[in-house]
Structure 1
Amino acid sequence: MLHHRRISLAMLLAGVMISSGCSAAADSGAPPADLKAKLGKSIGREITAVNKTPIKGLFEVVIDKREIIYSDAKGEYIVQGDLVDLAKRKSITREREAELSVTDFSKLPLADAVKEVRGDGSRKLVVFSDPDCPFCKKLEQQSLANIDNVTVYTYLFPLSSIHPDAERKSRLIWCAEDRAAAWKNWVFNEKLPDNKGECENPVARNLKLGESLGVNGTPALVFENGRIIAGAVPGDVIDRMLNEARTEALAKKK
C-alpha cells in the first residue's frame, strides 16, 4: 500500500467494469477533442494527455506527465484510484504509472541517501521513506527483509503535513554516526539515535528530488532501470524487478 492523500476507489472502478459489461478488449473510442482543455481549466493543472481505457466512456487523464486520474467524456466527473483488470488480477493504473515514471538512475544524488549494502551489493534500489509511515516500516520489515545482494539507498522523505514529527526523526537518523544502523533501529525497534539532529542534512533536498520525480507518497521505489513504483510491494516482486533492472543496466554497458 501507499501512504499518501490519494483515495483509492479500486472497488468502485471494478464495479463500473462489471456493470458496463465491457471486456479489456472493448473499444472505448477516442477521447473528445475538447476534453483535455476542459479538464485543464477545471483542475488547474497541466494535462499531459487524455487516452481511452478499456471502459467505454471512461478516459485516462495524465496530469503533470506522471499522475493518472479518470474522467467521463464531458469532463464533469473525475475518479481517483486504481483501474483494476479483474480477470488478470492487476492494476492497469499502476502499470501505466510505472510506464510514465521512469528516471535516469545514474543522475540521482545517492550521497543524500542512507546507504546499506547487503551481500555483494550488486543490485541497486532507491527507496523514499517517511520515518512515521507504517507502510514504509512494513516494506522494511517484510518485503525487503530477505532480499540480499543489493545496495539500498533510502531517501528520508518526511510527509510533514500528516506526520508532524517525521522531519525531526529524519534529521536525528541522518545525524547518527551509523545512519544505516540508526534507520534499522528505528524501523524495527522504534529507537532513535541520541543526538540533537543539528548536523547538515539533505532532507529539504530529498523533498525537492521526490517532487521532481513525481513522488507524492511513501514508500516509493526506484529501480536501476529507472522504473518507479509506489507502495509496500511484496518481496518477490521487488526481487524480480531488481533482477530485471540489473540485466537491463548491464546490457546498456555492453
Structure 2
Amino acid sequence: MPTPRLFAAFGLAFALLGSGASAQEAAIREAIAVRVPQLKSIDEVRPAKLPGLYEIRVNGAEIYYTDAKGNYLIQGNLFETKGLRNLTEERINKLTAIKFSTLPFKDAFTIVRGNGARKLAVFEDPNCGYCKRFERDLQKIDNVTVYMFLYPILGPDSTDKAKALWCSKDKGQAWQDWMLRDQPAPAAAAMCDTTPVARNVEFGKTYRIQGTPTLLFEDGNRVPGAIDAQQIEKHLKDAKD
C-alpha cells in the first residue's frame, strides 16, 4: 500500500517536472521575443508531437515551431508520416473550431424556408461569384433557417455593397434580389449602424474564415467553398443525426 512518504515523493517529482516545463517555456519566450520581435506576443508555448520540437502559438491560431532554446524557427506544416496526418492543420482546425450556438447571431439576418427546423450559417461576400452559384443551389433546400453573415473581404466595393444590404428594410429580400436576380444593391439608409458588418470581418479573421462562401452546420462542421444542393442536404442531415 502506498505510504504518505511515497505520495510526497510523487508530488515533489511532479512539481519539479512542472517547474522545468515552466522554465523551458520562459526561456523560449525570452529568446524568441529578443530575436524575433514581431513574435513577442506569444499566446502559448507547448511541446510538439516531435520530440525536441516546441509549438509557438501567436495571434490566436498562428503556429510556428522552435527548438528547446529558441535558436531556430520553423514556419510550415508538421506531418506525421504514419497516416500522412497534417498535425499543424489539425491543431489550427481545433483552435479555430466554432461552436454553432456561440455564433454572433445578432450580426446576421435570417432567411427561413419551410418550417426552418434545420440550421445553417453562411459567410458570404456580395461580390463573390461562387456565392451566387451557391445561392442558386440553396434555393432548392427546404425546412431550413439560414443565418446570413455579410462578410465583405474581396475589396472596398464589397464593403459598400454589404453595408447597403445590411441597411435595407428587408435584408433577406434585398440579398436575394442582388445575388439571384442581379438587381442593383439598394442605396444605404441615412441612419443605419453598419458595425455588425465590421464585426463579421473581425470574427472571420479570428476564426480564419479565409474564403466565401463558408458554411457552418449545427454539429460544428465547417465547409469552405460552394457546394451543391445534394451536398448541403447531406451535411444538414449529418448535423441532425
The TM-score by the shorter chain falls in which range? 0.5 to 0.7
**CA displacement at 1:197 relative to structure 2:** 0.7
1:45 matches 2:41: yes
Q: Who is 1:223 aligned against?
A: 217
Q: Who is 2:198 aligned against?
A: 207
State how far apart, in whole Å, the 1-side matches of 2:239 and 2:193 are.
Answer: 27
Change (3 A) 1:106 1:76: same
Higher relative contact order (CA 8 A, sep 6+): 1
Q: Who is 2:155 aligned against?
A: 163
| Alpha-carbon displacement from aligned partner over 1:54-90 (angstroms, at most 9, x marks no partner) | x67765543344x24333434644435x667788687
Match of 2:119 among 121, 124, 147: 124
Which protein is richer in helix relative to its size? 2
1:62 matches 2:57: yes
Q: Is 1:222–1:229's contact at 8 Å kept on the other side of the alignment?
A: yes
Larger radius of gyration: 2
Q: What does residue range 80-229 of structure 1 map to in structure 2 within 5 Å?
A: 92-103=87-98, 105-137=100-132, 139-141=134-136, 144=138, 146-159=140-153, 162-193=154-185, 195-201=186-192, 203-212=194-203, 214-216=206-208, 217-219=210-212, 220-225=214-219, 227=220, 229=222
State how far apart, in whole Å, the 1-side matches of 2:136 and 2:81 are.
Answer: 29
State how far apart, in whole Å, the 2-side matches of 1:192 and 1:198 are.
Answer: 15
**CA displacement at 1:189 relative to structure 2:** 4.7
State how far apart, in whole Å, the 2-side matches of 1:75 and 1:120 are.
Answer: 59
TM-score (norm 1): 0.60
**CA displacement at 1:165 relative to structure 2:** 0.9
Change (3 A) 1:131 1:101: same
| Alpha-carbon displacement from aligned partner over 1:163-219 (angstroms, at most 9, x marks no partner) | 0111210122223344223323333454323x3212554542243255356245333
State how far apart, in whole Å, the 2-side matches of 1:203 and 1:173 are.
Answer: 10
**CA displacement at 1:113 relative to structure 2:** 1.5
Q: Is 1:114–1:155's contact at 8 Å kept on the other side of the alignment?
A: yes
| Alpha-carbon displacement from aligned partner over 1:115-136 (angstroms, at most 9, x marks no partner) | 1123332121222222234454
Question: What secondary structure, in the 3-state scheme, does the structure 1 residue paired with 2:156 have?
Answer: coil
Q: Is 2:98–2:207's contact at 8 Å kept on the other side of the alignment?
A: no
Q: CA RMSD in A?
A: 4.0
Counterpart code for 2:160? R
Change (3 A) 1:84 1:126: farther
State how far apart, in whole Å, the 1-side matches of 2:192 and 2:85 are.
Answer: 39
State how far apart, in whole Å, the 1-side matches of 2:108 and 2:173 are.
Answer: 13
Q: Is 2:47–2:53's contact at 8 Å kept on the other side of the alignment?
A: no
Matched pairs, number: 209
Structure 2, unmatched stretches of 5+, are: 1-20
State how far apart, in whole Å, the 2-side matches of 1:238 and 1:51 are.
Answer: 39
